[in-house]
Amino acid sequence: MIKYITKRLILLIPTLFGVVTIVFFMMSLAPGDPARLALGAHATPEAVEAMRHELGLDRPLHIQYLNYLKQVAVFDFGKSIKTGEPVLYELLSRFPATIELSVVSIIISTILGILAGIISATRQNSMIDFGAMFAALVGVSMPVFWLALILIMVFSVGLNLFPTGGRINIRLFMDPLTQFYLLDAIVYIFREGDFSYFLSALKHIILPAVALATIPLAVIARVTRSSMLEVVRQDYIRTARAKGLSERTVIYKHALRNALLPVITIIGIEFGYNLAGAVLTEEIFSWPGIGRWLYSAVTARDIPAVQGGVILIAVVFVLVNLAVDIFYAYINPKIRY
């Protein structure tokens, strides 16, 4: 197993090389001059030229490329044109927010999705089944930005239950320990007996997490249902019943463990999308995560920032997939590395 993981991690290198190359040339081919954008419309041609020189944009493309490769090899992603901060620092300061949101949302969609799938499958063609699958269809069909706005309208503006955006009440200031506010807030509970941080963080994350969870939830529910329907017809389920086991054991132990195999793959993919592409959700809920940051970097033609962001997302995507494969092997004994 360790050998397999090592092998997969080594395979990460060529993948990243490809990602770096593609991202680099794509950004170079895109129209617009980063120096001009950075300095504004009124900058003198001399100033723009000086900026181009400083950014290395006046050198031939292949030299720029080789230089960039050298930098990336030592985890130097350059400085953001817009803020002047190192890209790596900016990435690392924003990524925890995205991870936190993605994890909470994938937990919601996994638990509810699998439950809905099982209930639908065990009551196939009942009203509950039709209802759940119709809801799932609505779920996948709803654009995230629209759902997010509706959630804000109903639960923030209308019922005043949840805040409209941000990660925590701005009057509550927390020492950044892990940068995962929910975890930090739990530390506060133990350290100071103060629940207000946790409640505030929780309240802030619920709406964006729900908005982000909707599509994965619907997909997971549908995949679980069809996988369960397939599995409950298998001979070994009849065997389990013939052993005198309770229906609960038959479904939740014997059937579910087999039915989960395709579901895990889906969860991994959806989680990867969440990490990479929560742009709209983050934007609407003012969630200071990587998606929102990357979006503004793209519009500002902040090349080093975009390159760094995309590379980070690629790494995370590959790592999530690796985790999925390892977990898959864990529950499917036929796969052993």
Name the residues that contact other proteins, by CB under 8 A.
234-236, 238-247, 249, 254, 257-258, 331-334
To the nearest whole angstrom, how small is the minimum distance from the Cβ of residue 260 to other proteins?
A: 9
Query: Bridge partners of 86?
Result: 79
How far apart, in whole angstroms, are the C-alpha atoms of residue 250 and residue 259?
A: 12
CB-nearer residue toward other proteins: 102 or 258? 258
Which position has the token pair 């638990």? 111
To the nearest whole angstrom, how small is the minimum distance from the Cβ of residue 114 to other proteins?
A: 16
To the nearest whole angstrom, how small is the minimum distance from the Cβ of residue 3 to other proteins?
A: 21
Which position has the token pair 């990336």? 72
CB-nearer residue toward other proteins: 201 or 228? 228
User: Based on the number of CB atoms within 10 Å of its own CB, is 118 exposed (0-12), middle (13-18) or buried (19 or more)?
Assistant: buried
**Taking the CA of residue 20 as centre, how many other CA atoms within 13 Å lie in the half-sphere pointing to its CB?**
20
User: Based on the number of CB atoms within 10 Å of its own CB, is 27 exposed (0-12), middle (13-18) or buried (19 or more)?
Assistant: middle
How far apart, in whole angstroms, are the C-alpha atoms of residue 158 and residue 323?
A: 41
To the nearest whole angstrom, how small is the minimum distance from the Cβ of residue 16 to other proteins?
A: 34
CB-nearer residue toward other proteins: 71 or 234? 234
Strand, coil or helix: 178: coil
To the nearest whole angstrom, how small is the minimum distance from the Cβ of residue 8 to other proteins?
A: 23
Query: Bridge partners of 79?
Result: 86
CA 31 to chain centroid, in Å, comes to: 29
Using an 8 Å Cβ cutoff, are 102 and 275 in contact? yes
To the nearest whole angstrom, how small is the minimum distance from the Cβ of residue 237 to other proteins?
A: 8
How far apart, in whole angstroms, are the C-alpha atoms of residue 231 and residue 259?
A: 6
To the nearest whole angstrom, how small is the minimum distance from the Cβ of residue 187 to other proteins?
A: 38
How far apart, in whole angstroms, are the C-alpha atoms of residue 147 and residue 105?
A: 15
- CA 242-333-249 angle, to 5 degrees, is 30
To the nearest whole angstrom, how small is the minimum distance from the Cβ of residue 120 to other proteins?
A: 15
Phi, then psi, of 175 in degrees rounded to 5? -65, 125
How far apart, in whole angstroms, are the C-alpha atoms of residue 291 and residue 298?
A: 11
CB-nearer residue toward other proteins: 191 or 336? 336
